[in-house]
Amino acid sequence: MASTPPFIPGSRPIAGQSPRIQRSRRSELAIWWREIDRVLLGLVLLLMAIGTVAVAVASPASAKQLSTARVHLDDMHFLTLHLRWQALGIVTLFIASLLPRDAARRLGILLGSAMLFALILVPLFGSTVNGAKRWLNLGISLQPSEFMKPAFAIALAWILSWRLRDPRLPVMRIATGIVVVIGVLLMAQPDFGSTVLFGAVWFVMMFLSGLSMKRIGAICGVGLFGLGAAYMLYGNARHRIDAFLGGGTAYDQVDIARHTLIAGGWTGTGLWLGTRKLSLPEAHTDYIFSVIGEEGGLIACAVIVLLYLAIILRVLYRLVDEEDLFTVLAATGLVAQLGGQAFINILVNLQLFPSKGMTLPLISYGGSSTIALCLGVGFLLAITRRNPYLAKDPFARRAPVPWKAAR
């Protein structure tokens, strides 16, 4: 007969629950807190806190630009919405981080399948905003490509890890076929920026899986061909590239963003004291980095860049001794997606890259993007969980690492 666990002094049972259930839940939370990467969690929450301040100072500019004769938006309209989305995103992050690794993998695969189907529906039933058809109206506006990003990294890592079971499986071809299908569906919207990001994440994961230099060269050639085809066939991509190269409007939104970013000098004008942001389109989303530059200065921009680099390096450090191929590939893909999106957005604001309509992750205002990014971080925390006592034990027996030998 099983013995009853001892009563913990000071504990207060919840009505309808036995002390054993409550202790079990507290134990699960204690294990979760011990196993997750608390440094990574702190860096992410710090970026989100900076994002709250950034949206607060950018909200008046965007509200004034989007107000009309019929509808007047309050100066803090976007901040209020952002706080709601952030709260929902943080809940999503913590729930996802509580998942066991296998459960996170299964959820990522199911989510990827659902979002692939949703991407097929977007050109048929999606709503058009600013000339792009990227959203499905399901009672709330849903952008499937945002939720596909974390799911894509997990599903691709799962497929690439099949080669440990049978090296004869054509996992490289399957992975390539999937990214091509996603790219075609995204370009139908059109969403050239997300297509580039998916291709970059795919390349990083394929390279880590042992892609030969010959194939890497072939992929680079295909990428250049695809860029040329996008320029010739898609007016949106051609307009953005022409504007970047100087063949478009002389003073377009990217040029305004760059001038806004450098207007504050090293230390900035101070919060809510910037003036150039008032003429900046999408100040709370795509060009929020420029708003930070004007009001916080180039020092604040440098701090944000360092925080993104710290997140990337922290994940890579966490994977140094990792022995599971799926974990290495999935975590690398997730952090490559986060870092790649931040890198593209920052380069656009510096006028070093064509405009992509891509938000600054964890900082910009967003609905689908905020929830999806927090879900990706939650997956990342769940996948990289590990027992700290085993990790610190120098005499712990380690299993052989077949995927490292296979390379």
Confidence of residue 173 (pLDDT cuts 50, 70, 90): confident
Percent of the chain with pLDDT over 90: 35
pLDDT value of residue 1: 46
- The model's pLDDT over 83-93, given as tens digits with 9 standing for 90+, comes to 999 999 999 99
Q: Are 257 and 280 in contact (CB under 8 A)?
A: yes
Residues pairing with 142 in the sheet: 136
In a domain, 119, yes or no: yes
* 119 φ/ψ sector (left φ>0, alpha ψ -120 to 50, else beta): alpha
181 part of a folded domain: yes
| Cα–Cα distance, 19 to 6 (Å, whole number) | 9
Q: Report which of residues 334 and 71 the model is more confident about.
A: 334
Left (φ > 0), alpha (ψ -120 to 50) or beta: where does 286 sit?
alpha
At 286 the three-state DSSP class reads coil
Mean pLDDT of 204-213: 79
Rounded to 10 deg, the angle between the 77-97 and 38-66 helix axes is 160
Please tell me the predicted confidence (pLDDT) of residue 229: 64
pTM (two decimals): 0.83
Classified as helix, coil or strand, 303 is helix
As for how many domains the chain has, the answer is 1
Closest CA to 118 of 182, 39, 44: 182
Would you say residue 135 lies in a domain? yes
* Domain presence at residue 247: yes
User: DSSP of 335-404, one letter per residue?
Assistant: HHHHHHHHHHHHHHHTTSS-------TTTS--SHHHHHHHHHHHHHHHHT---HHHHH-TT------HHH
DSSP labels for 234-252? -HHHHHHHHHHHTSS-TT-
Residue 180 lies in a domain: yes
> In the prediction, which pLDDT does 397 show?
43
Beta-carbon count within 10 A of 227 CB:
14
Tell me which of 14 and 229 has the higher pLDDT. Answer: 229
pLDDT per residue as tens digits for the range 284-299: 888 999 999 999 999 9
Mean pLDDT over the full length of the chain: 81
398 confidence band (pLDDT: 50, 70, 90): very low
Confidence of residue 62 (pLDDT cuts 50, 70, 90): confident
Range of the domain at 334: 43-387
50 within domain boundaries: yes
Q: State the amino acid at position 230 in one-letter form.
A: A
Specify the amino acid at residue 149: K
- Indicate if the alpha-carbon torsion angle 193, 113, 150, 124 is positive or negative: positive
Contacting residues for 26 by C-beta, under 8 A, at least 6 apart? none
pLDDT tens column, 111-147: 999 999 999 988 888 777 766 777 787 777 788 889 9
Closest CA to 51 of 369, 375, 363, 404: 363
Highest mean pLDDT among 64-73, 149-158, 200-209, 219-228: 149-158
Residue 278 forms part of a structural domain:
yes
Going by pLDDT thresholds of 50, 70 and 90, the confidence category of residue 376 is: very high
pLDDT at 316 over 80: yes
| pLDDT for position 13 | 47
Residue 185 tokens, joined = 């569906």
Assign 338 a pLDDT band (cuts: 50, 70, 90). very high
The CA angle 146-151-152, to the nearest 5 degrees, is 90
Q: Which two tokens stand for residue 94?
A: 């913590």
Domain annotation covers residue 369: yes
Nearest CA to 364 among 297, 270, 289?
Answer: 289
Report pLDDT for 52.
94
* DSSP string for residues in 145-170: HHHHHHHHHHHHHHHHGGGGT-TTS-
Q: Which two tokens stand for residue 385?
A: 């969980």
Q: In what order do the strands lie in the sheet with 132-137?
A: 127-129, 132-137, 141-142
